[in-house]
């Protein structure tokens, strides 16, 4: 209980610090004026398109899942994404990342460890995909330097975050591949390390880990690997197009290619484990809008508040409706993640 209390205090302080940087040096009356100064049709389109990534993610996910179950319901995959994101947007600590695979495993009667393994692979590919797109943007600098100027300090930051993201994804991939391709020695080593815990817990953890490793079977299928990679690009190009369309609502006209670094910044900000992505998403969005597109800070704050509100409201609305139809509360779903022990 004490540990949880301190964790909540740290998350609150981090959120407040990020919000301070987000709201620093702005004029509230200008922010409110800018929020109203939106093209209604593009705003409606942004609202309607906000949940599309739940579908593209669900389609991509099924390429990993079919190694255990050929016909996973698309609806259940979409619902798992919606419920997982709803938990992440409501509670601190990104608990939805655990809830999402466990929810689907329960619905499809699949092994929990297997689906958890596929969820780890998803995150690895998310990072790799956006780092690749950011790398293309940085390498193409000589082609657009004359028409799209970013100061060298911002390029250095992008390069740093790109390298960090690639290093993290590479490290996770190496560990993942090591677990899968060297399963027997890995399991022996982990079993040896876990001898210090009671046998009933140790057996449960080892079974879960073995199922987790099985969730990476797709690495042996080049066809599945290529299809999954393709859909990873579909997911993230779709997200980039979404922000591009949203920009039109605020009369910001930039080529689609130049939305790449902004989307990467949002991915970094959203990964900070604050409730509802509050603070991290906002601060990184403001930095991206003012640095990349030279947008006035008051307009940047207004745009960030609106796009974040759309995504949170639409995702949570879908998540709440799904749970309501099932007769389940959000707190009951949250317990799935907490009781998993992960």
Banded model confidence at residue 214, pLDDT cuts 50, 70, 90: low
Mean of per-residue pLDDT scores for the chain: 85
Q: 276 near 90, Cβ under 8 Å?
A: yes
d(CA 120, CA 215): 9
Q: DSSP secondary-structure letter at 66?
A: T
Of the ranges 89-93, 163-167, 235-239, 293-297, which is most confident?
235-239
Cβ–Cβ < 8 Å for 238, 53 = yes
pLDDT, one tens digit per residue, over 310-324 is 999 999 999 999 999
Q: Are 262 and 243 spatial neighbours (Cβ–Cβ below 8 Å)? A: yes
Name the pLDDT band for 2 (thresholds 50, 70, 90). very low
Kindly state the average pLDDT of the residues 265-271: 90
Q: Is the pLDDT of residue 281 over 90?
A: yes
Judged by DSSP in three states, 320 sits in helix
The set of residues, in sequence order, having a beta carbon less than 8 Å from that of 322 and lying 6+ positions away, is 79, 82, 83
Can you tell me the distance from the alpha carbon of 148 to that of 125, in angstroms, rounded to the nearest whole number? 29
- pLDDT of res. 217: 65
- C-alpha 173/C-alpha 128 separation (Å) is 10
Confidence of residue 123 (pLDDT cuts 50, 70, 90): confident
Q: Residue 98 — pLDDT band, cuts 50, 70, 90?
A: confident
Residue 283: half-sphere exposure toward Cβ, Cα within 13 Å: 19
Would you say residue 186 has pLDDT above 80?
no
- Give the whole-angstrom CA distance, residue 79 versus residue 323: 9
Rounded Cα distance between 265 and 271, Å, is 10
Can you tell me the distance from the alpha carbon of 227 to that of 60, in angstroms, rounded to the nearest whole number?
8
With 50 as the cut, is the pLDDT of residue 1 above it?
A: no
């Amino acid at each position: 209980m004490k540990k949880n209390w301190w964790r909540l205090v740290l998350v609150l302080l981090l959120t407040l610090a990020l919000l301070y940087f987000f709201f620093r040096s702005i004029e509230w009356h200008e922010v409110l004026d800018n929020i109203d100064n939106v093209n209604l049709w593009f705003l409606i389109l942004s609202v309607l398109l906000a949940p599309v990534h739940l579908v593209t993610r669900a389609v991509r996910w099924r390429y990993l899942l079919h190694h255990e179950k050929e016909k996973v319901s698309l609806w259940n995959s979409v619902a798992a994404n919606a419920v997982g994101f709803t938990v992440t947007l409501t509670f601190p600590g990104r608990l939805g990342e655990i809830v999402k695979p466990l929810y689907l495993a329960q619905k499809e009667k699949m092994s929990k460890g297997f689906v958890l393994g596929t969820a780890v692979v998803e995150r690895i590919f998310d990072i790799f995909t956006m780092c690749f797109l950011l790398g293309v943007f940085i390498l193409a600098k000589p082609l657009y330097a004359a028409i799209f100027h970013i100061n060298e300090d911002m390029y250095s930051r992008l390069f740093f975050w790109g390298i960090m993201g690639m290093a993290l994804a590479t490290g996770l991939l190496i560990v993942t591949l090591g677990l899968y391709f060297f399963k027997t020695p890995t399991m022996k080593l982990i079993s040896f390390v876990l001898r210090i815990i009671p046998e009933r817990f140790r057996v449960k953890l080892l079974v879960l880990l073995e199922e987790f490793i099985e969730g990476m079977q797709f690495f042996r299928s080049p066809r599945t690997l290529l299809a999954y990679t393709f859909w990873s690009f579909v997911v993230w190009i779709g997200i980039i197009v979404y922000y591009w369309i949203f920009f039109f609502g605020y009369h910001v006209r930039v080529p689609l290619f130049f939305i790449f670094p902004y989307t990467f910044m949002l991915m970094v900000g959203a990964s900070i484990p604050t409730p509802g992505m509050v603070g991290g998403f906002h601060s990184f969005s403001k930095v991206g809008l003012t640095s990349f597109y030279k947008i006035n800070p008051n307009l940047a704050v207004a745009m960030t508040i609106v796009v974040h509100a759309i995504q949170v409201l639409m995702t949570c609305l879908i998540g709440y409706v799904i749970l309501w139809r099932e007769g389940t509360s959000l707190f009951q779903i949250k317990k799935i993640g907490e009781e998993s022990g992960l």
